[in-house]
Amino acid sequence: MLKPNLNEAKQRNREKILVKTNEYIINDQIKDIGLGKKYFVKTYGCQMNEHDTENIKAILEDMSYEEVDNMEEADLILLNTCAIRENAHNKVFGMIGRIKTLKESKPDIIAGICGCMAQEEKVVDEILKKYRHLDLVFGTHNIINLPNLLSKAITSKEMQVEVLSGQGSVLENIPVKRDSKYKAWVNIMYGCDKFCTYCIVPYTRGKQRSRLPEHIIDEVKELVSKNYQEVTLLGQNVNAYGKDLDLEYTMANLLESVAKTNIPRIRFVTSHPWDFSDEMIDIIAKYDNIMPYIHLPIQSGSNRILKLMGRRYTKEEYLTLFDKIKNKIPNVSVTTDIIVGFPNETEQDFQDTLDIVEYCKYDLAYTFIFSAREGTPAAKMEDNVSLEDKKQRLYKLNERINYYAKENNLKYLGKTVKVLLDKKEKNGLSGYTETMKSVYVDTDHQYLGQIKEVEITDVRTWSLKGKIK
């Protein structure tokens, strides 16, 4: 048993990051384990988790398991979990309860959890004490060992726990079963070294580790050869890409190299304002295939709270960057993340956040009530904002956010925009504009997977409707 350790997860050392290209092995005894059996994976949380699930699915299919959409039909159930806020936690424990009931009638089911919650010491201790019906617990650094863990869980009938808390390395050549034939996630880095005081990610995902540029470019080139239309470059803090490599190769360089592969669309998430360079802005403006869409979390509009959050910028610095992005990248859309009710947030601090929203008029914002995560510095601060006040602030904030979301969308009425139609709907297709607006189009399915010119005929707060030009 290898349990998570919060103290180890906190540490950062200067050791060189190892790139391992041949770690994933699937031997003959293991590759038929799932023959005739079905698996179900449920994913919570961010795109990083979605992409990890694509790796997990490929590994399970290498072991001959077959995917099902319905948990009740599965022989193997995995929950790929998220630890970012309390409510994500609660949902997972609810599912663990449902699995218990299921196992009472089908005791041979193998069930487990992985992802960020598995990296939390307290969660694993609780599982070991109260949820002995689970067979597997493995962490974000242990995905490639799934075949061994699973085969041990099946043969030994004992719970297998393997969670590395250390720094982690960069693993290449992990198989992937992509959810889409048109859009792909591409990891460019793992982990985060920013340690914002509220955030658990640096503990669950480890030290910042960038993939080598050639491995990323090769992956994108392969996607181009398979006719993929869009890649999203993924990382917790993509603008810091390359800072941990000895290559003097930055996110701006990477964006340019990826643009030159001629993949039709490039996106990237998530940006931290601290590392957003002028070179990056210039490259985004220069290449038509880098989408004019920037997710730029501000978290709070109050300098006092930003300091308590450890965000390393002031609202003035954020606004300077925001203005530069708006001025230099034509037609850019900007979205953000905001937390309300951080410990010690006063009405004035919250008003400062509202003022920023009035200024930036975001295309969209993801808004959250602060949730104390055990082990983070903010969890030790006195949480002196009442739940009632937090809820009211969230309500007021969302009201302004929705107002600007609609106002921004209204500008699209009557305009013709390019949409990658990647999803089948009941009576049509849907997809996203270059600026990440969701569009529904009444059309037959012949255009599935294509970028088409669409005239916008109808506007809602969250989506647009249009017809093919």
Residue in this structure with the two tokens 């080139």, named with its chain if needed = 221
Q: Which does 272 bind (CB under 5 to 8 A by kind): ligand 5AD, ligand SF4, none?
A: ligand SF4
Binding status of residue 199 toward ligand SF4 by CB under 6 A: yes
Q: Which does 84 bind (CB under 5 to 8 A by kind): ligand 5AD, ligand SF4, none?
A: ligand 5AD
Q: Which does 146 bind (CB under 5 to 8 A by kind): ligand 5AD, ligand SF4, none?
A: none
CA-nearest of 449, 423, 293, 408 to 440 is: 423
Q: Is 224 exposed, middle or buried (0-12, 13-18, 19+ CB in 10 A)?
A: middle
Residue in this structure with the two tokens 């598995």, named with its chain if needed = 118
Q: How far is the CB of 226 from ligand 5AD (least distance, A)?
A: 30
CA-nearest of 137, 172, 138, 164 to 23 is: 172
Contacts with ligand SF4, 219-258, as mask; x by CB under 6 A: -----------------xx---------------------
Using omega within 30 degrees of 0 as the cis cutoff, is the peptide bond preceding 270 cis?
yes
How far, in Å, CA of 8 to CA of 2, rounded? 13
Binding status of residue 272 toward ligand SF4 by CB under 6 A: yes
Q: Which residue number, 211 or 390, has a Cβ lying nearer to ligand 5AD?
A: 390
Candidate ranges 181-189, 238-246, 366-374, 444-452; the one touching ligand 5AD (CB under 6 A): 366-374
Binding status of residue 201 toward ligand SF4 by CB under 6 A: yes
Contacts with ligand 5AD by CB under 6 A: the residue count is: 12
Binding status of residue 371 toward ligand 5AD by CB under 6 A: yes
Is residue 114 within 8 Å of residue 81, measured between CB atoms? yes
How far, in Å, CA of 95 to CA of 455, rounded? 43
How far, in Å, CA of 32 to CA of 151, rounded? 10
Is residue 230 within 8 Å of residue 182, measured between CB atoms? yes
Q: Which residue number, 57 or 89, has a Cβ lying nearer to ligand 5AD?
A: 89
How far is C-alpha 251 from the geometric centre of its chain's CA atoms?
18
Q: Which does 370 bind (CB under 5 to 8 A by kind): ligand 5AD, ligand SF4, none?
A: ligand 5AD
- Which residue's Cβ lies closest to ligand 5AD? 337
The residue type of 250 is: T
How far, in Å, CA of 448 to CA of 453, rounded? 13
Q: Which does 48 bind (CB under 5 to 8 A by kind): ligand SF4, ligand 5AD, none?
A: none
Q: How far is the CB of 336 from ligand SF4 (least distance, A)?
A: 12
Q: Which of 84, 109, 118, 296 binds ligand 5AD (CB under 6 A)?
A: 84
How far, in Å, CA of 160 to CA of 113, rounded? 11
Q: Which residues contact ligand 5AD by CB under 6 A?
A: 84-85, 198-199, 297, 299, 337, 339, 368, 370-371, 373
